[in-house]
């Protein structure tokens, strides 16, 4: 269900959706991962359950080759059986009170994800509310960071991919602050 939709002057379409990320059809789905790409719970677990073991296998291979993904970094794998060409695994910060630069780290994870999609030419991407689940980032503080980071990226790259950015929120409690920010 589309909750809010904005077309920015840069031509980017930003869509806030309430639903399950694993049901989205996009060039790339964004995963809220940990540094070791061990996809146990949350969005990560749901993506692997639905997309199949290939996603975990490719993630293990990625970490074996490159080492752990730093906070704010991105790793790309295939999407298994999901309706996408790739998964952009990004590592958001673990919330620890806000004094360790978590807000900047969340912005960096979002920005690097958008940059990775741009580099790959992915026109349509769908991302969850990175860090706001198991990693404990307060939803009210995360929502404006998503909006501002997406808007700044778009303004810096008019007409460039990803031209459709879908932010997919599962639960009502998370949706409220995102609706306000978007």
Minimum separation from the CB atom of position 116 to ligand AR6 (A): 17
Kindly tell me which residue out of 14, 16, 29, 32 binds ligand AR6, with binding defined by CB under 6 A: 32
Kindly tell me which residue out of 12, 39, 111, 163 binds ligand AR6, with binding defined by CB under 6 A: 39
| 51-80 positions binding ligand AR6, by CB under 6 A | none
Q: How many residues bind ligand AR6 (CB under 6 A)?
A: 26
The whole-angstrom separation of Cα 31 and Cα 108 is 15
Region near ligand AR6 per CB under 6 A, out of 5-13, 116-124, 128-136, 155-163? 128-136
Minimum separation from the CB atom of position 129 to ligand AR6 (A): 4
Minimum separation from the CB atom of position 123 to ligand AR6 (A): 21
Kindly tell me which residue out of 12, 15, 22, 74 binds ligand AR6, with binding defined by CB under 6 A: 22
What are φ and ψ of residue 31, in 5° steps? Answer: -105, 140
Kindly tell me which residue out of 15, 46, 82, 107 binds ligand AR6, with binding defined by CB under 6 A: 46
Output the CA–CA distances (angstroms, integers) from residue 128 to 61, 65, 139, 142, in the order listed: 24, 26, 12, 11
The whole-angstrom separation of Cα 36 and Cα 23 is 25
Based on the shown chain and the rule CB under 6 A, indicate whether residue 105 belongs to the binding site for ligand AR6: no
Q: Which is nearer to ligand AR6, 10 or 54 (CB)?
A: 54
Nearest CA-CA partner of 46 in 55, 36, 59 = 55
What are φ and ψ of residue 26, in 5° steps? Answer: -160, 170
Region near ligand AR6 per CB under 6 A, out of 30-38, 96-104, 116-124, 144-152? 30-38
Minimum separation from the CB atom of position 139 to ligand AR6 (A): 7
**Side by side, which strands form the sheet with 2-7?**
2-7, 13-18, 164-169, 124-127, 28-33, 86-91, 74-77
The whole-angstrom separation of Cα 9 and Cα 3 is 20
The whole-angstrom separation of Cα 117 and Cα 141 is 24
């Amino acid at each position: 269900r589309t909750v809010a939709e904005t077309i920015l002057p840069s031509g980017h379409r930003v869509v806030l959706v309430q639903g399950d990320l694993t049901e989205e059809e996009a060039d790339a789905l964004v995963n809220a991962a940990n540094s070791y790409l061990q996809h146990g719970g949350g969005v990560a677990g749901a993506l692997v359950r639905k997309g199949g073991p290939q996603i975990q296998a490719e993630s293990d291979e990625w970490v074996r080759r490159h080492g752990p993904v730093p906070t704010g970094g991105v790793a790309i794998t295939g999407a298994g059986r999901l309706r996408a060409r790739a998964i952009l695994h990004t590592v958001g910060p673990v919330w620890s009170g806000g004094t360790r630069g978590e807000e900047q780290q969340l912005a960096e994870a979002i920005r690097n994800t958008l940059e990775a999609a741009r580099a790959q030419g992915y026109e349509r991407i769908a991302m969850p509310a990175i860090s706001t689940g198991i990693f404990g980032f307060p939803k009210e503080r995360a929502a404006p960071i998503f909006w501002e980071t997406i808007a700044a990226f778009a303004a810096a790259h008019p007409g460039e991919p990803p031209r459709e950015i879908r932010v997919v929120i599962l639960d009502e409690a998370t949706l409220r602050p995102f609706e306000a920010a978007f």
